[in-house]
Amino acid sequence: MPTSLGYAILALVASKPQSGYDIARQMKSPLGYFWQAKHSQIYPELARMQKSGLVAFTEVEQKTRPARKVYSVTDAGKTALAEWIADPPQERPANDEIVVKAYSLARISPARSAALVREQIRAHDERLGLLEQRAAAIEDRRQARGTKTGSRFGDYAALRHAIGVEREYLAWCRWLISEINRVEGKSRTKR
Amino acid sequence: MPTSLGYAILALVASKPQSGYDIARQMKSPLGYFWQAKHSQIYPELARMQKSGLVAFTEVEQKTRPARKVYSVTDAGKTALAEWIADPPQERPANDEIVVKAYSLARISPARSAALVREQIRAHDERLGLLEQRAAAIEDRRQARGTKTGSRFGDYAALRHAIGVEREYLAWCRWLISEINRVEGKSRTKR
DNA sequence: GATACCATGTAAGTCGTTACATGATTAT
DNA sequence: ATAATCATGTAACGACTTACATGGTATC
């Protein structure tokens, strides 16, 4: 039985045959909105799934580049994936460092806490912009091709989730900034 | 140097001296909205931090219960925590199984996918309700005591984040349901 | 000349989970 | 009786990260 990462790989390979490198590119942080993993985890997982018959590869030689192992899903892989999808997902703890930092934010000065949060806003605003660009591109394609539920529905759904997460995070960061300002204003007028 | 979990523990112990068991209770899934961890990870981490002088404990004997080790933060611990808060947080990949399942949702029937998503809505609606109750309680307390930025600001901030995450997740789930219905409706009228 | 991309892997180490271990008390 | 709560720990295993390893091609 594959791990969660294994199923994530299966899902990608099922949508389109591709190499470990291709998968790694899509799972690359910080832009990977589907599942994040490094190549050092992906290659062994692919090898394991190939041995257990869920995927198969054909080696494609190239002139100037090293050979690619292009993986595709076997029938057994498709069955395993469909069965796994239906049963309830494992809940993953958020365990986000920023929440711990926010919890103890009063331990550093308002100036420093504002700087911390503003940097988060900057970075996540940037990421959100990229995600929204991608979403807009997909929405155009969907309108053009009519409302046929293409194989890209899943990709779009994952994107929507990532965008929602970023928007929520940014709203929370902005609330934090307003709270920091409120406290700073209070302590200033007191003197 | 402590791990992220170590700092999460430091933050909790800094807000109020407490035992490993108390910490484990707050970090328990599925309600732990601050940081999730099991006691098997917390006890060794506390022991390590005690050895490196960031926390100290006093053993409190009890009549009917086993003795408690009540930990508190040392000055070195407070310094370490404040320094850690200021530097940029590590970004954690979401790696949520449900996103992978959504990606391949078209591989199972609309009935089964709707069941999967509806169960998520049920569970997370319940969790959201509990979080909102807690938030309401804190908001009352804050209004009563005036707007003094109590030590509970951090707790409230963590809660707001958790609530935001749940709301976003539920909105996404409901969008998924509407998409599933749209597709099902289309295929029905076709026949 | 340096950096980034293509393309694949392995090794060592850390973080986290599940299970093992103990034992009294309280609630259903 | 059975389960849940209080209270602390250790051991084995699995997941994930960082670094090691190789080597050609394209871009600045």
User: What pLDDT band is residue A148 in, cutting at 50, 70 and 90?
Assistant: low
- Min distance B114 CA to chain A CA atoms (Å): 10
User: What pLDDT band is residue A150 in, cutting at 50, 70 and 90?
Assistant: low
In this prediction, the residues of chain B whose per-residue pLDDT falls under 50 are none
The predicted pLDDT at position B150 comes to 61
The predicted pLDDT at position B133 comes to 95
| CB pair distance less than 8 Å for A175 and B160 | yes
User: CB-based contact (8 Å) between A116 and chain B?
Assistant: yes
Distance CA A15, CA A18 (A): 9
Query: Taking a contact as any Cβ pair under 8 Å apart, which residues of chain B between 14 and 53 contact chain A?
Result: 14-15, 29-30, 32, 34-37
CA distances to B6, B75, B152 from B20, in Å: 12, 20, 20
Distance CA B99, CA A82 (A): 14
Q: Which residues pair with B30 in a beta bridge?
A: none
Residue in B36, B116, B155 closest to A93 by CB:
B36
- Min distance B69 CA to chain A CA atoms (Å): 23
- The larger pLDDT score, comparing residue B142 to residue A124, is at A124
User: CB-based contact (8 Å) between B144 and chain A?
Assistant: no
The predicted pLDDT at position B142 comes to 80
Average pLDDT over residues A112-130: 97
> What's the gap between Cα B23 and its chain centre?
13
DSSP string, B39-81: HHHHHHHHHHHHHTTSEEEEEE--SSSPPEEEEEE-HHHHHHH
pTM: 0.94
Residues A157-178: pLDDT tens digits?
Answer: 999 999 999 999 999 999 999 9
Residues B129-162: pLDDT tens digits?
Answer: 999 999 999 998 887 766 556 668 999 999 999 9
In this prediction, what percent of chain A has a pLDDT beyond 70?
95
SS (H, E, C) chain A: CCCHHHHHHHHHHHHCCECHHHHHHHCCCCCCCCCCCCHHHHHHHHHHHHHCCCEEEEEECCCCCCCEEEEEECHHHHHHHHHHHHCCCCCCCCCCHHHHHHHCHHHCCHHHHHHHHHHHHHHHHHHHHHHHHHHHHHHHHHHHCCCCCCCCHHHHHHHHHHHHHHHHHHHHHHHHHHHHHHHHHHHHHHC
Residue A37 pLDDT > 90: yes
